[in-house]
Structure 1
Amino acid sequence: MVKQERAVRTRNALIAAAAEDFSRLGYSPSSLLSISRHAGVTSGALHFHFPTKVALASAVMAAAIQRLHQIVERCEKRMPPGGALQLLVDAGHELVQQLREDAVLRAGFDLEGDPGCPRGVGEVRRHWHQWVQATLQCAEEAGQLRPGVSVEQVASAVFVCTVGIQMLGRRDTQWVSRRTLSRFWYLVLPRIAAGEGDLDAAGTC
């Protein structure tokens, strides 16, 4: 049991160190030697858990996807009075906050847009886009969207906004904020919502 716990700690430390390097430097410039040093483990220990950099990147992406699922699950559990549309707003704010604070989640989004990262590592952005579209579909079925509003078009706009905030935040962290996303929702909600009674563009959590 002690060995298993040590192995889990080592694996998690390597994922965290890799996430920091992948997000800060990019996939290609990051080296396994540097990652092992940052994690405080030997190169042998790194290769025991992750024989290649691709395997390590895949583990970072899998962890990022899990973090994303945890975000939306937390928001779904405290379903706001505004229903699915407010849920989408709240989850977006939670995502942006975690992109600022969580290096693993941030690295997942960075890796997917990194031209040096091999294909097949994973697609955390795709998971986010699918959830956004499914949530908007629920809002439409509940009568929360104005007639004629396209679920696909709104989903694309939300996706582009959140991913764009994350990408801009790589150079200037001030972009990654509740204020930035609130401005988007203040502009969009009046144009898509059938009624804005309980909707809060700044989020309810």
Structure 2
Amino acid sequence: MAKQDRAVRTRTALIESAAALFDREGYELASLSTISARAGVSSGALHFHFTSKAALADAVGQAAAQRLEGITQQRADGALQTLIDVTHALVQALDRDVVLRAGFGLSDSLEHVRVGAGLRGKWQGWVEDSLARADREGALAPENSAQDAATAVVAVTAGLETLGRQDEWWLSHAPLTRFWQLILPRLVEPSRLDALVASGSGAGVPWA
């Protein structure tokens, strides 16, 4: 059991070390020797767990996908408030979780993340499904389409993730809250607006 626990810890350390380097330097520049050194393990131990850098990137992508799935499991009162809350949780996680951040970066080069591919696609699909549910619940104003709204939300969250790599302010609470404050009065059925919290329902700050 002790040997098994040690193997799990080693694998986790390698994934986190690789994620940090992929996030900072990019997949192409990250070297296996630096990854193993940062993880505090030998090159032999790295190759025991991962046969190549691509296999290690696969593991980072899968770990990131699991974390994204965990973020999207939370629920609020209605599909639209759930979407708002999850976007805030995602942006907060991107600020502090290098594995998730690396996963989104790796998803730009899908050939490096074969099994856990398409993190951006997974996020887009979840947003589209959420807004389709919000539309069925009658939360969207009739002149708005769920697909158009999903396009805006995916574009903004992708933009915050990209800008946040250069300036952490973009991954703070304020920019996303301001986006929701701007879009909700144009997106939502007026009778539903007062019930929504642009800053996330956990924050307790109304949209206006």
TM over 0.5: yes
- Unmatched runs of 5 consecutive residues or more in structure 2: 203-208
Distance 1:61 1:156 in 2: 23
Distance 1:114 1:168 in 2: 19
Distance 2:150 2:185 in 1: 16
Cα shift readout 1:112-134 (whole Å, capped 9, x = no counterpart): 1259x636351111111111111
TM-score norm. by structure 1 comes to: 0.93
Q: Judge conservation of contact 2:134–2:140 (CA < 8 Å) in 1.
A: yes
Number of aligned residue pairs: give it. 199
Distance 2:102 2:199 in 1: 25
Distance 1:87 1:118 in 2: 32
Query: SS at 2:112's partner residue?
Result: coil
Cα shift readout 1:139-197 (whole Å, capped 9, x = no counterpart): 00010001031111111110110111010111111111110101111111111111202
Q: Judge conservation of contact 2:80–2:139 (CA < 8 Å) in 1.
A: yes
The answer for the alignment partner of 1:19 in structure 2 is 19
Query: SS at 2:106's partner residue?
Result: helix
The answer for the alignment partner of 2:205 in structure 1 is none
Distance 2:112 2:65 in 1: 17
Query: What's the RMSD between the two structures over aligned residues?
Result: 1.3
Cα shift readout 1:80-112 (whole Å, capped 9, x = no counterpart): 3xx111110000000000000001001101111
The answer for the alignment partner of 1:191 in structure 2 is 186
Q: Which protein, 1 or 2, shows the higher relative CO under an 8 Å CA cutoff with sep ≥ 6?
A: 1
Distance 1:114 1:59 in 2: 14
Distance 1:8 1:98 in 2: 23
The answer for the alignment partner of 2:45 in structure 1 is 45
- Unmatched runs of 5 consecutive residues or more in structure 1: none
TM-score norm. by structure 2 comes to: 0.92
Distance 1:158 1:95 in 2: 12
Q: Judge conservation of contact 1:182–1:201 (CA < 8 Å) in 2.
A: yes
Correspondences of 1:45-194 after superposition (within 5 Å):
45-73=45-73, 75-76=74-75, 79-80=76-77, 83-114=78-109, 118=112, 120=114, 122-194=117-189
**Structure 1 range deviating more: 143-152 or 7-16:** 143-152
Query: SS at 2:158's partner residue?
Result: helix
Distance 1:69 1:15 in 2: 18
Distance 2:83 2:200 in 1: 9
Distance 1:97 1:114 in 2: 24
Distance 1:177 1:62 in 2: 26
Stretches of 4+ moved more than 2 A in 1?
A: 117-121
Distance 2:16 2:172 in 1: 23
Query: SS at 1:113's partner residue?
Result: coil
Q: Judge conservation of contact 2:19–2:102 (CA < 8 Å) in 1.
A: yes
The amino acid that maps onto 1:109 is F
| 2:199 aligned with 1:202 | yes
Distance 2:86 2:176 in 1: 11
Distance 1:193 1:34 in 2: 50
Percent of paired sites with the same residue:
48
